C-alpha cells in the first residue's frame, strides 16, 4: 500500500479515503462486493484502492435485507433484482458526489458477483466514467446463473453478454484463464460484442488463475502473481479515466 487510509461507516456501506486528503478532489469509485457481502476481502481491496489515492464507497448491497443467509451462491444471485442493484450503484455515485470530495468522474469496480454488476453498469448506467469488473459471470443462460425453471426477466432482464455491445465507458475486464464459472468461450464472446460498442475496452486473462484470484482470504483461490499483475494494470487505468 501507499498512502495511509481512513474509513467511516455510512448509510450505504463503508467509505475509504486517503488520510489527509479532505480538502482536495479525489478520483472516486463505487466498489461492489462478491456474493458473500461486505467482508475482510472487500474491505482490504477498498483500503488498497484508497491507499492509491481514490475515494472508495464499499457499497453494501444487502444493507436493507436484514440477516442474509446464503446456502448456494447461484440461486441467491438469481433472486436479486438487477434493476434494483443498478439503481443502488447509481445512488452510490450520487452519494459520493453529495457527501465526499469526489471529483467529477466516478468509476465502478466489482469482484465475482460484483464484477457482473460492474460490467452491467458499464453498459446500462450513465453515472460512471469507467468500469473495472473482475471475473464477473457473463451469461444467464448457462452456468451457475442459469435458472433451471427458466429465466425471470423481471429480475434478470439482461446478462452482461446481452448488453456488451452497448458499452458506454472505458472498460478494463479481468478474468482467470482457469475460472470454472466463466468459460473461455464466454470471454471470447464478450470481446466480440465489446468490439461493436466503439468504446475503448480491454479484456485481460491471467494464466494460472481461476475465480476470485484477488482474494487473499481464500488460500485456494488467491494467486499472488496474477493479483499483482492485475493491480498494476488496474491502478493506472483508473487514474487515467477518473483523475
Contact call for residues 173 and 205 (beta carbons, < 8 A) = no
| Tens-level pLDDT at each residue, the chain (243 residues) | 588 999 999 999 999 999 977 668 999 999 999 999 999 999 999 999 999 999 999 999 999 998 888 999 999 999 999 999 999 999 999 999 999 999 999 999 999 999 999 999 999 999 999 999 999 999 999 999 999 999 999 999 999 999 999 999 999 999 999 999 999 999 999 999 999 999 999 999 999 999 999 999 999 999 999 999 999 999 999 999 999
What 3-state class would DSSP assign to 41? helix
Cell 481491496 belongs to 45
Q: How many other C-beta atoms can be found within 10 angstroms of the C-beta atom of residue 73?
A: 17
Q: Measured between alpha carbons, how far is 11 from 213 in angstroms, rounded to an integer?
A: 30
Judge contact between 227 and 135, C-beta under 8 A.
no
d(CA 130, CA 93): 12
DSSP characters over 103-137 = EEEEEEEEETHHHHHHHHHHHH-SS-SEEEEES--
DSSP class of residue 153? T
Q: Which cell goes with 242?
A: 477518473
Return the DSSP state at 92: H
The third-level CATH classification (topology) of the domain covering 5-242 is: Rossmann fold (3.40.50)
pTM (two decimals): 0.97
Amino acid at each position: 500500500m501507499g498512502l495511509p487510509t481512513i474509513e467511516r461507516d455510512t448509510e450505504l456501506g463503508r467509505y475509504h479515503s486517503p488520510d489527509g486528503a479532505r480538502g482536495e478532489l479525489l478520483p472516486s469509485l463505487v466498489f461492489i462486493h462478491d456474493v458473500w457481502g461486505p467482508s475482510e476481502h472487500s474491505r482490504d481491496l477498498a483500503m488498497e484502492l484508497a491507499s492509491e489515492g481514490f475515494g472508495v464507497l464499499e457499497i453494501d448491497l444487502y444493507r436493507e435485507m436484514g440477516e442474509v443467509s446464503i446456502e448456494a451462491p447461484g440461486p441467491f444471485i438469481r433472486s436479486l433484482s438487477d434493476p434494483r442493484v443498478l439503481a443502488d450503484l447509481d445512488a452510490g455515485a450520487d452519494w459520493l458526489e453529495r457527501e465526499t470530495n469526489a471529483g467529477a468522474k466516478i468509476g465502478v469496480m466489482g469482484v465475482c458477483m460484483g464484477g457482473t454488476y460492474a460490467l452491467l453498469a458499464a453498459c446500462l448506467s450513465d453515472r460512471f466514467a469507467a468500469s473495472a469488473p473482475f471475473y464477473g459471470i457473463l451469461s444467464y443462460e448457462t452456468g451457475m446463473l442459469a435458472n433451471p425453471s427458466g429465466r425471470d426477466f423481471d429480475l434478470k432482464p439482461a446478462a452482461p453478454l446481452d448488453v456488451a455491445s452497448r458499452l458506454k465507458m472505458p472498460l478494463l475486464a479481468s478474468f482467470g484463464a482457469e475460472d470454472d464459472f466463466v468459460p473461455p468461450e464466454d470471454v471470447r464472446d464478450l470481446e466480440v460484442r465489446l468490439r461493436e460498442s466503439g468504446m475503448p475496452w480491454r479484456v485481460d486473462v491471467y494464466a494460472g488463475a481461476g475465480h476470485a484470484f484477488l482474494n487473499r482470504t481464500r488460500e485456494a483461490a488467491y494467486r499472488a502473481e496474477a493479483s499483482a499483475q492485475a493491480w498494476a494494470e488496474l491502478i493506472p487505468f483508473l487514474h487515467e479515466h477518473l483523475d
